[in-house]
Amino acid sequence: MTTEHPARIAGNASRAAAIAKNKDEWLALFAEDGWVEDPVGPSGFDPEGKGHHGREAISKFYDMTIATADSLEFLIDDSLVCGNENVNIGKIRTSVGGMMIDAEGVFVYRVNDEGKIQSLRAFWEVDRAMKTARKV
């Protein structure tokens, strides 16, 4: 999973910035017209399921999600690169408010020609993740 590939590099940097809770660094990884769908489709973070488009919307997404977590851990079982995309299979472990939740899924980073994240799409099921909730 260490192959030097622009999409993998961007995905690794995105996860590192999220773990460090470095909002400015995380936002700087995105293309100006980039977007985030996490999870893909309608959710409490995105009731219409259209994603968070542009840096201002991505910044608001960060404030609703990453900023509220006590800690994040990315447990990646496999990582594949194809074209300008990196697909990661695994789980995101989130600790918040004395609880730990695992979101198993597929996490897809697409980069543009400059290596900036064009899209971050996370495929995971909210109900399934909530069933893993446990006290820490």
Domains of the chain: 6-135 (3.10.450.50)
pTM above 0.85, yes or no: yes
Beta bridge partners of 122: 107
Q: Is 4 exposed, middle or buried (0-12, 13-18, 19+ CB in 10 A)?
A: exposed
Do strands 71-82 and 52-53 pair parallel, antiparallel, or not at all (unpaired)? unpaired
**SS3 (DSSP) at 104:** strand
Write the pLDDT tens digit of every residue in 57-105: 999 999 999 999 999 999 999 999 999 999 999 999 999 999 999 999 9
- In the chain, alpha helices (H): 6-20, 23-28, 54-64, 126-130
Write the pLDDT tens digit of every residue in 15-70: 999 999 999 999 999 999 999 999 999 999 999 999 999 999 999 999 999 999 99
